Chain A
Amino acid sequence: MELISSSIVSLTVFLPLIFGLVLLAMPADTEAGKKLLKTAALAFSLVVFLVSLGLYGRFDASYVGFQFVESIPWIESFGISYSVGVDGISLWLIILTTFLTPIVILGSWTAVEDKLKTYYFLILALETGMLGAFVALDVILFYVFWEAMLIPMYLLIGVWGGKDRIYASMKFFLYTLVGSLLMLIAIFYVMSQYKAQFGNYSSAILELYKVKTAFDGFWSPQTLLFLAFALAFAIKVPLFPLHTWLPDAHVQAPTAGSVILAGVLLKLGGYGFIRFAFPMFPQAVQYTAPVFIALGSIAIVYGAWVAMIQPDIKKLVAYSSVSHMGYVMIGLFSLNHLAVAGSVYQMLNHGISTGGLFLIVGMIYERRHTREISEFGGITRIMPIFAVIFMIVTLSSVALPGTNGFVGEFLILLGVYQVHKVWAIVAGTGVIFGAVYMLWMFQRVMFGPIRNEENKNLKDLSLREIIVMAPIVVAIFVMGVFPNIFISKMDTSIKAFLAQINV
């Protein structure tokens, strides 16, 4: 079919950055100026969200391949181009990104008071970086966005973070950088192989998919290349045992940073596997899959166990991410249709529910300036609206049927079980331990008598905070009850993805 050629993708990607630059030019010395700045940031991010919905509206669910493709030569001698496009998988990750950005902007309304301009600029610049990575159809372009994204995130943690923010942001930066350098080397190798096989350079992913790299067990180019990519993506996911940067980064990051980190940045790891590592190295994927399934299953249980005994709520949520993202990994590596669909869905779920949990943690932190679980107890009585919302997000996190979490976990476990029974059962114990750490934490924070005098006068959620949480709550139920709205748009792309690997 004939695709409408336009630049809607580029518009979505760069609009946030342009808006961010506008913010930098605005005066923000007075109170009124600050308020205007915040309002403008919110309005801009909403515009971006609306523009991205245009992608959804014009997306053709039955079309195999990328839509809204734009391609402009960039460094022609190496076949590098600015080419972007969207398929059913990236579509939802884009919308997740544009959905969460206004939420975090409204969420940081009162939490952030200094260097406002830079703060909102960085959030919008980060949005451009993330969106760029999701739409890039050129591996070098992807790499540029992938690295560029690090800088605003590094600054958000390093400037607006908690007391150990320098350590945490350095750890985050170096961990990620080390991982991606190996990937870059692998990219160059694949490009040179392409040249050897096809006579010219190209870094377009659809071209690179065609490259044949020798595969012969572990010590063969394909496996090593795959592992180079996998290292970068696994760090980002993060896959056990490469996860230790995450708790530190989360605990030190400001709320907005945590939400974006958990909600979107981690997804780039999963997305990277889907878009680059899997289709380029299908044999290596099948060869190494058992190891990754084992690691993913261990991550689910390990993350849950370590989350259980955390004294700090935010760290608990951070470790729960390790557990939840483990599901994404086992689903992808099972190469089972149901499980892969579940994994993509789980990425969206995790963005919603863990994003929601970080917002919730931020809300009590703003009130009490502590996140120690032992400081709380009996909060339900004082903050009933907060309690209801917290409970709903908790239930989403424990994957109760009717919420979004169930659809993802069920499809993943159902699919993985058909391929790797034992690991599916190991992973399945996450169903139990997930309930343990979440409900135990919830009980200690929300139930029981009010033990701490300081909690007696806490205010329930303000209207602004309710508006922040409302879209999350709605998404939890809509995605839990009507998952077909989402799956129907991604299924064609998932089929195509699997066809690439099962050759």
Chain B
Amino acid sequence: MLALILALPLVGFLINGVFGRRFSAKIAGSIASAAILGAFVISVSKFFELYSMDESSRVIEQVVFQWITVGDFSLPFVLRLDPLSSIMTLVVTGVGFLIHVYSIGYMDHDRTPPKFFAYLNLFSFAMLALVLGGNLPIMFLGWEGVGLCSYLLIGYWYEDDAKASAGKKAFIVNRIGDLGFLVGIFTLFGLFGTLDFVAIKDVAAQNATTVSIATLTFATVCLFIGAMGKSAQFPLYVWLPDAMAGPTPVSALIHAATMVTAGVYMIARMNFLFALCPTTLMIVSGVGAFTALFAATIALAQNDIKKVLAYSTVSQLGYMFMAVGVGAYVAGVFHLVTHAFFKALLFLGSGSVIHGMHEEQDIMKMGGLKKYMPKTFLTFAIGTIAIAGIPPFAGFFSKDEILWNAFSSHHGLAGTALWGVGALTAFLTAFYMTRLTCLTFLGAPRFDAHHTHPHESPNVMVVPLLILAGLSMVGGFIGIPGHSWLAHWLTPVVGPHSAAHDSMEYILMAVSVLIAAAGCGLAYFIFVARPEIAAKSAKQLAAIRKVLSNKYYVDEAYDGLFVGPIKKLSVALWKHFDVKVIDGLVLGVARVSKAAGEIARIAHTGELQLYAVAVVFGLIAILGYMIYGINL
């Protein structure tokens, strides 16, 4: 019963959404958590069912109902669990469950917790539809559904204009990507005559030599544009940093662990098409690499704890695209999984800090929090080590897998360049994450200890942190180089392709560990050991800092280039074209007839009824003419 995995969160949504008005955070949160826990349990059992099946036939399918049927075109609501979607399902429901539980504590003092939990459940439903959907339109349904929930949850505290605007921005930027996705769907339909993943794969395999690669390249680029929107890649990443306006558990679940990885999942799901289009893959890996580096530089200069994590997410997603762009789908999915662990951990940790600091998010007003919230510090530090790529924590394995695949990809020289960008990003990642941890937890407090009393979070929040910390420590072992369980598991979906392992891999591995250690060490040195260096260099680098902290002025550029001109043009179209040109013509015609009417004024009394009578007689006259007169 795959449908049950989706149905449970949907039921949770309905219970809280329809009947929940007076529920407390505990009740609403328990209902929502139970729903997602149920989905997790079923996902686990389905995973083992899949595991016990023969490797070549690992697919569980369920047709729930017929969605749209027009003539021969049939679109069933079909769900399909295969090795790839089973991994995603486990991540979405597993990490999702922890975040639901955490939210019970985090949203305790909120005005409308049932609404919050209803949205969270609705999100889980949509995300699971995206993952399990057996054809492109169902994936698109989930794709837009998670976008809707993202919109609703970013603007959850809607009375704040900035937050409401951030939600709207997320929806609209995503819709730009979604148009790309739609055009991709339409093109694939034209090529293959079906929208079902398995059917497309079959048709593509049968016509491998005849299918137009140019058209397919166009289709896959369009799909990637969709991924750029959903997974916040340059130039459509601008919504994600603003999305931090939402409650922090939302940032953890939607804007770090699950939804934003949908683009990576989509490409992995359709790897058999992308693999036919080298140009597309080049674009994917190029955009991914650029975004990874670009976002990492911005993260260096952010002082909002969540903004640092947001740009970090954009950057890490860039890594994943770099991976799938060089055909290393396993590495991309691997990093997706480990990132879900440590980034959810980091976001929830930041939420714990914000909670304990009474809604303060500026790390310049923190410092020394280790003493007040030791468990949060411990887990946050683990998350930092994991993302920095220090072995044997999770991020090390997955990031290294990507770097190695990039280096040894068939792009040749480009491979080295990709590796270089990736390695540089790894250094920056280690640096800004250590900076973030140090400024938040170490050193002397920079807040007024008389007025602010930071406190550790309740267990309902700490326990999820501990579990995620554990996963961030050991999660990498599913993909040990040379003995990767994950690569083996995913082979039926993405094929056996993986870079060969040779001594070069171990050399590069050593290099990347050194890079990570250097990044962490340098940051620790600057921000803890010698804080005066930080102050001095801040002055010297003021110009660069300004550009970085203003995020390269990309938002301003978009406003100036697109938003402003379109608004001006719209006003002009309305006030000049609509009112003056079109209505002018219409009224002009009316005026001419009126002038003509002046001559025959006697016959006109100005009463519409009389005109109507005249019209009727006129018609009769014409009728008579038509019938007895000449045929035209």
Chain A residues packing against B (C-beta within 8 Å): 78, 151, 154, 170-171, 173-175, 177, 181, 184-185, 188-189, 191-193, 196, 201, 221, 241, 244, 302, 305-306, 308-310, 337-338, 341, 378, 380-381, 395, 400-402, 406-407, 410-411, 413-414, 417-418, 424-425, 428-429, 431-432, 435-436, 439-440, 443, 446-449, 481-484, 487-488, 491, 494-495
* With A425-B183, A448-B160 already in contact, 10 other A-B pairs whose C-beta atoms are closer than 8 Å: A189-B632, A191-B626, A221-B632, A305-B570, A406-B144, A414-B185, A417-B190, A428-B179, A440-B168, A448-B164
Which one of B141, B182, B590 contacts A431 once the chains associate, using CB atoms below 8 Å? B182
Q: Which of B158, B171, B623 contacts A447 (CB 8 A)?
A: B158
Q: Which residues in B have some Cβ–Cβ distance to A below 8 Å? A: 65-71, 73, 137, 140-141, 144-145, 148, 151, 155, 158-161, 164-165, 168, 171-172, 175-176, 178-179, 182-183, 185-187, 189-190, 566-567, 569-571, 573-574, 578-579, 582-583, 586, 590, 608, 612, 615, 619, 622-623, 626-627, 631-632
| B289 CB to nearest A CB, Å | 27
Whole-angstrom distance between the Cβ of B214 and the nearest chain A Cβ? 13
Question: Smallest CB–CB gap between A310 and chain B, Å?
Answer: 8
Contacts of A418 in B (CB 8 A): 186, 189-190
Complex Cα distance A401/B574, Å? 30
Is the pair A302, B573 in contact by a Cβ cutoff of 8 Å? yes
Q: How many A-B residue pairs have CB under 8 A?
A: 155
Q: Which chain A positions have C-beta within 8 A of B608?
A: 154, 170, 173
Chain A residue contacts of B627, Cβ below 8 A: 78, 188, 192, 201
Contact present for A435 and B172 (CB under 8 Å): yes
Is B573 within 8 A of A306, CB to CB?
yes
Contacting pair B70 A448 (CB below 8 A): no
- With A306-B570, A309-B574, A443-B164: A241-B622 Cβ-Cβ less than 8 Å: no
* Complex Cα–Cα for A439 and B150 (A): 14
User: Is A428 within 8 A of B182, CB to CB?
Assistant: yes
Interface centre among B68, B140, B172, B187 (most CB of A within 10 A): B68
A432 to B159, CA, bound (A): 25
**Contact call A447/B68, Cβ cutoff below 8 A:** no
B182 touches A483 (CB 8 A): no
* Pair A439/B172 contact, Cβ less than 8 Å: yes
Interface centre among B178, B569, B570, B573 (most CB of A within 10 A): B570
Question: Is the CB–CB distance between B148 and A400 below 8 Å?
Answer: yes
Q: Is the CB of B68 within 8 A of A483?
A: yes
Instruction: Decide if A244 touches B67 in the complex (CB within 8 Å).
Output: no
Pair A417/B626 contact, Cβ less than 8 Å: no
**Shortest CB–CB separation between residue A196 and chain B, in angstroms?**
6
Given contacts A411-B70, A448-B161, contact A432 B573 (CB under 8 A): no
Assess the B67–A446 pair: CB atoms within 8 A. no
Residue of chain B at shortest CB distance from A247: B578
- Residue of B176, B183, B186, B626 with most chain A CB atoms under a 10 A cut-off: B186
B158 nearest CB across to chain A (Å): 4
With beta carbons under 8 angstroms apart, the residue of B73, B187, B626 that contacts A338 is B73
A483's closest neighbor in chain B, by CB? B68
Q: What chain B residues lie within 8 Å of A173 (beta carbons)?
A: 608
A414 touches B186 (CB 8 A): yes
| Cα of A302 to Cα of B187 in the assembled complex, Å | 25
A-B contact pairs, 16 of them (CB 8 A): A174-B590, A201-B627, A305-B566, A306-B573, A308-B567, A308-B570, A309-B567, A380-B158, A401-B144, A410-B182, A431-B178, A435-B175, A439-B171, A443-B164, A446-B158, A447-B159
The docked-state distance in angstroms from the alpha carbon of A401 to that of B67 is 11
Q: Which of A181, A413, A491 contacts B186 (CB 8 A)?
A: A413
Question: Do B67 and A177 have beta carbons less than 8 Å apart?
Answer: no
In the bound complex, CA of A433 to CA of B619 (Å): 44
Q: Are A188 and B171 in contact (CB under 8 A)?
A: no
Residues of A contacting B160 with CB < 8 Å? 448-449
Within 8 Å CB of B161, what residues of A?
Answer: 447-449
Q: Known contacts A414-B186, A429-B179: does B168 contact A483 (CB below 8 Å)?
A: no
A400 and B573 within 8 A (CB): no
Q: Is the beta-carbon distance between A491 and B582 smaller than 8 angstroms?
A: no
What residues on B are CB-neighbors of A410 within 8 Å? Answer: 68, 137, 182
Q: Say whether B626 contacts A192, CB under 8 Å.
A: yes
A79 to B146, CA, bound (A): 59
How many Å lie between the Cα of A244 and that of B569 in the bound state? 18
Q: How far is the CA of A488 from the CA of B608 in the complex (A)?
A: 45
Q: Name A174's closest neighbour in chain B (CB-CB).
A: B590
Question: A42 CB to closest chain B CB, in angstroms?
Answer: 27
Contacts of B571 in A (CB 8 A): 309
Chain A: which residue is nearest B163 at the CB level? A447
- Bound together, the chains give a CA A402 to CA B582 distance in angstroms of 38
Residues of B within 8 A of A482 (CB): 65
Contact B586 A175 (CB under 8 A): yes
Query: In the complex, are the beta carbons of A443 and B168 less than 8 A apart?
Result: yes
CB distance from B522 to the nearest CB of A (A): 43
- Choice from B137, B165, B578 contacting A443 with Cβ under 8 Å: B165
Chain B residue numbers with a CB within 8 Å of A188 are 622-623, 626-627
**B182–A401 touching, CB < 8 Å:** no
- A439 B182 Cβ-Cβ under 8 A: no
In the complex where A309-B571, A395-B148, A439-B168 touch, is A424 in contact with B71 (Cβ < 8 A)? Answer: no
How far, in Å, is B450 (CB) from chain A's closest CB? 31
| Distance in angstroms between the alpha carbons of A342 and B608 in the assembled complex | 39
Instruction: Determine how close the nearest CB of chain B comes to the CB of A261; give it in whole angstroms.
Output: 18
B159 touches which of A196, A381, A424 (Cβ 8 Å)? A381
Q: Are A338 and B171 in contact (CB under 8 A)?
A: no
Collect the chain B residues with CB atoms within 8 Å of residue A154's CB. 608
Name A399's closest neighbour in chain B (CB-CB): B144
Residues of A near B172 (CB, < 8 A) are: 432, 435-436, 439
Docked Cα-Cα span, A152 to B168, in Å, equals 41
